[in-house]
Structure 1
Amino acid sequence: MTERAVTEMSFEEAMAELEGVVSQLERGDVALEKSIELYERGAALKKHCEARLRAAEEKVKAIQLAEGAPVGTTPVEGL
């Protein structure tokens, strides 16, 4: 089975896989080479999740509020 490219994953998919990777590594019952592969995959997943969160944060910041109602938005690419 081929692993799905991290860049194609939604935040939720990447986070779920990252949780699985962390769980496997914490158990410590994985061979050294597999542990290294898992660690590398986990690092890529973490980076992807952080980028998606930053993009979402920027999108939220772009909404300007006045008296509780949006008065304008600035388009943010990437989400």
Structure 2
Amino acid sequence: MSESQFSTARTDDIDQMSYEQARDELAEVVTKLETGGAPLEESLALWQRGEALADRCERWLDGASARLQEVRQSLDRADSADTAD
């Protein structure tokens, strides 16, 4: 069986997931992979989906971090303006 004959995991639905949905499914994928026993092709598909889920979680967290940073900067500017008055 060549590499091109391996099935790939469905990942097109992941971009619509909330952080919690992606995190929960990622935990399930990790458990399945750690348990073992799945055929190689299924394990590869699980790994691929897990990578996509982890990426989704990271993008959610990066976005949340950026929003927090914006709020902190806004508050710092407001405090600086109040102090200058």
Shared fold (TM-score greater than 0.5)?
Answer: yes
Identical columns (%): 36
Unmatched 5+ residue regions in structure 2? 1-9, 79-85
Q: Kindly state the Cα deviation for residue 10 of structure 1 after the two structures are TM-superposed.
A: 0.1
> Which structure carries more helix by proportion?
2
Aligned to 2:70: 62
Note closer, same or farther for the CA distance 1:3–1:51 as it changes in structure 2 (3 Å cut): closer
Q: Please, which of 13, 30, 43 is the counterpart of residue 35 of structure 1?
A: 43
Q: Please, which of 3, 11, 14 is the counterpart of residue 19 of structure 2?
A: 11
> Which structure carries more strand by proportion?
1
Q: Kindly state the Cα deviation for residue 3 of structure 1 after the two structures are TM-superposed.
A: 7.2
TM-score by length of 1: 0.77
Greater RCO structure (CA 8 Å; 6+ sep):
2
Unmatched 5+ residue regions in structure 1? 72-79
Q: Does 1:50 align with 2:58?
A: yes
Pairwise CA RMSD of aligned residues?
Answer: 2.0
Whole-Å Cα distance in 1 between the matches of residues 29 and 36 of structure 2? 11
What is the number of equivalent residue pairs in this alignment? 67
Whole-Å Cα distance in 2 between the matches of residues 7 and 32 of structure 1? 26
Which segments of structure 1 move beyond 3 Å, counting only runs of 4 or more? none
